[in-house]
Amino acid sequence: MSHRRVGRWAPQRARNGRGRIRVVAAIALLAAWAGGFALLVRREFFVGQAERLAEAAMRLSPGATFYAVEQNGTRIGFASTTIDTLPTGIEVTDYFVADLPLAGRVHRASARSVVLLSRALALRTFDVQAEAAETPMRVVGRTEGDSVVIFTMDVPGQPADTQRIAVRGPVLVPTLAPLAVALGESPETGKTYRIPTFDPQQMQSRDVALTVRAESVFVVDDSARFDAASRRWTSALRDTVRAWHVVAEEGGFDGWVDAQGRVVVAQQATGITLRRMAYELAFENWRIARGAAAATEPERDIFESTAISAGVRLDAAALPRLRVRLLSVPLAGYALDGGVQSLRGDTLVVERARLAATSYSLTTRAPEFLAKFRAELAAEPLLQVTDIAIVQKAIAIAGLERDARRVAERLHRWVYDSLAKEVTFSVPNALQVLRTRRGDCNEHTQLYVALARAVGIPARIATGLAYVRGKFYYHAWPEVWLDAWVPVDPTFGQFPADAAHLRFVVGGLAQQAELLRLIGNLQIQTVDGGR
């Protein structure tokens, strides 16, 4: 098959264009999509307290709440939450739509989730649909008792992917966590709720702490009237609302919640804010403004709003070494130390890997090797390592070569040459990328990792920041095991990747979402970058 020349960049051009190929788009969509599905939450302090939960549910008021979606002070979308009380349970419908400015263009993204809960607020069924650009996705699922969650992920053109996930006790969706804090007991400033969370994509659990940080009073627009002179809706009646600031300490929810558990204001990454107001003010005014809008304002572009200044402009050539200080955020829990990176205090040093002959080949992997790298060789949702199309392509690229390093480089060259470099609004799917042959760094990384694992080379997804023209931008790249974890970058055509790659997390989208709490808070002070 001939390579698609449209997708091939010269290395210098790739370096100059790094800021344009990023997965901030996926993060913005994930923030909406995850609200209905990506994390299933078990409230530890609710276990064994079903009666108290049932009493809280009785205080849950049916109705709809509407939100203006803003980015850096500019209205870009609309969101809503509708709660219906049914004879057998409670139905919660969340909707989100926004015109996200990205790389000089406006991209429409939307997500809708319908969740059915028991009368004690435990998850029973869910139906989540998300769409960005031309890539729709749907996830449906249900619980079996309090021990198993079954869900099916459906992406057009791909076989449905069904998973069974074991859980311990009742689970809640994260959008209801603030509601449960408010209704479960009287919120108390300074109190922290420990919540074990379970991610069905990564099949991993971790504890999250929700802390009530403060209490305040807000004035909310409760109704609206149409002003013929300005041809816009204006506030007709305002209501004073008492609310508590609830924050997930390790990223996730950050917002103010009233006594009924309804969000008043919530902050998301990339400068996005959800602000409660009357329907006409939230939706109709956005619709009017959208019709009058011209082009995307450069200063609102998500790429630039999430960029972190390097403090100094480095040589544009591939960096063999980079030393920076990471300031203003706690660094515990990030994968900053190890491999080509070393962290001492707040100073991170990155060295470009030096490749040598690899001690194993694809035909001489010992059982201990396979056991050690079981996770880095396994299939995962959207990483279809054993699919016949992935396996056949990987074998065809490897040819008769059996040296792991040479095969890893062949896979790198093929992905770099064969994929068109395009910003995409989608959750990366290795099979879909193989078919469409296009995408940004997320798609390049997803396909490369699937191909490498398919021929028996341990590979994993690394996510962090890449230095581009004086700033650091969100970026993803693969790491392959060649007697050590070696970063490679099939988006930029670097094998191995240069020292301008700062890895923060390892893993798929759920792990990548950890970087959300860095956006807008991390400061980077470049110490030196040289040869």
Q: Look up the CATH number of the domain holding residue 488.
A: 3.10.620.30
Domain count, the chain: 2
246 and 324 belong to one structural domain: no
Euclidean distance between CA atoms 512 and 338, whole angstroms: 18
Task: Let me know whether 251 and 394 are in one domain.
Answer: no
Q: Encode pLDDT of 170-188 as tens digits.
A: 555 555 556 656 555 677 8
The 3-state DSSP class for residue 476 equals: strand
Residue 203 confidence class, pLDDT cut points 50, 70, 90 = very low
Q: How far are the Cα atoms of 37, 107, 131, 384 from residue 134, in angstroms, in the given order?
A: 21, 10, 7, 21
pLDDT at residue 507, rounded to an integer: 83
Whether 269 and 325 share a structural domain = no
- Peptide bond preceding 487 in cis form (omega within 30 of 0): no
Q: Of residues 331 and 423, which shows the higher confidence score?
A: 331
- Residue 350 dihedral angles phi and psi, to the nearest 5°: -120, 130
How would you classify the pairing of strands 123-132 and 105-117? antiparallel
Who's near 443: CB < 8 A, 6+ residues apart?
419, 424, 426, 428, 433
Question: Residue 363 domain-assigned?
Answer: no
- Is pLDDT above 50 for 12? no
Helix, strand or coil for residue 505? strand
44 and 141: one domain? Answer: yes
* Model pLDDT, residue 74: 83
**Looking at the structure, do residues 282 and 196 belong to the same domain, yes or no?**
yes
Task: Determine the average pLDDT of the residues in 307-319.
Answer: 58
SS3 174: helix
Examine the domain organization and report whether 229 and 327 are in the same domain. Answer: no
Calculate mean pLDDT across residues 3-24.
Answer: 38
Count other C-beta atoms under 10 Å from residue 157's C-beta.
9
Q: And the tokens for 510?
A: 């759920």
Are the CB atoms for 352 and 340 separated by under 8 Å? yes
Same domain (yes/no): 258, 320: no
Query: What pLDDT is attached to residue 298?
Result: 43
% residues pLDDT > 90 (the chain):
29
Query: Could you give the CA distance from residue 115 to residue 36 in angstroms, rounded to a whole number?
Result: 7
Rounded mean pLDDT of 358-384?
Answer: 88
User: Which one has a higher pLDDT value, 251 or 26?
Assistant: 251
What are the angstrom distances between the C-alpha of 264 and each of 216, 222, 275?
Answer: 11, 12, 6
In a domain, 18, yes or no: no
- The pLDDT tens digits of the residues spanning 238-289 come to 999 999 898 876 656 788 888 877 889 988 766 688 899 999 999 988 888 7
Report yes or no on 237 lying in a domain: yes
Cα distance between the two ends of the chain: 39
pLDDT band at 477 (very low <50, low <70, confident <90, very high): very high
| Furthest CA-CA distance within the chain | 78
Q: Residue 404 pLDDT more than 90?
A: yes
Residue 303 confidence class, pLDDT cut points 50, 70, 90: low
Is 364 contained in some domain? no
Q: SS3 string of 417-453?
A: HHCEECCCCCCCCHHHHHHHCEECHHHHHHHHHHHHH
At 479-497, the pLDDT tens digits run 999 999 999 999 999 999 9
Nearest to 248 by CA among 219, 206, 220: 206
DSSP character string of 95-135: EEEEEEEETTEEEEEEEEEEEEE-TTS-EEEEEEEEEETTE
Residue 519 has pLDDT above 80, yes or no: no
Of 253, 275, 300, the domain-final residue = 300
Rounded mean pLDDT of the chain?
76
- Tell me which residue range forms the domain holding 329: 309-355+381-530
In sequence order, the 6+-apart residues with CB closer than 8 A to the CB of 99 are 76, 77, 106, 107, 108, 290
Per-residue pLDDT band for 136 (boundaries 50, 70, 90) equals: confident
**Cα radius of gyration (the chain):** 24
Over 70: is that where the pLDDT of 221 sits?
A: yes
Q: Residue 415: its pLDDT value, please? A: 96
Residue-wise DSSP of 58-70: HTPPPEEEEEEEE
Which of residues 235, 269, 300 is at a domain's end? 300
What mean pLDDT comes out for the span 314-326?
77
- Structure confidence at residue 276 (pLDDT): 93
Name the nearest CA neighbour of 468 among 502, 419, 429, 418: 502
Question: Is pLDDT above 50 for 391?
Answer: yes
Amino acid at 259: A
Q: Are residues 408 and 447 in the same domain?
A: yes
The answer to whether residue 31 scores a pLDDT higher than 50 is: no
Report if pTM > 0.85. no
Token readout for 188 is: 């108390």
Same domain for 289 and 391: no
Do both 400 and 282 map to the same domain?
A: no
Arithmetic mean of pLDDT, 509-530: 69
Residue 24: per-residue pLDDT: 43
Residue 344, domain member (yes or no) = yes
Smallest Cα–Cα separation from 23: which of 498, 493, 461? 461
Same domain, 290 and 388: no
* Domain identity same for 325 and 206: no
Distance CA 194, CA 475 (A): 31
pLDDT beyond 80 at 425: no
For 365, phi then psi, to 5°, come to -95, 120
Q: Which residues contact 152 (CB under 8 A, 6 or more apart)?
A: 139, 140, 141, 160, 161, 162, 163
Asked if the structure places residue 487 within a domain, the reply is yes
Inside any domain, residue 186: yes
Instruction: Please report whether residue 22 resides in a domain.
Output: no
- Map tokens 């980079």 to a residue: 322
Burial 247-259 (b: 16+ CB within 10 A, else e): bbeebbbbbbbbe
Q: Is pLDDT above 90 for 219?
A: yes
Which of residues 300, 329, 364 is at a domain's end? 300
Per-residue pLDDT, 458? 96
* Higher local confidence (pLDDT), 425 or 129: 129
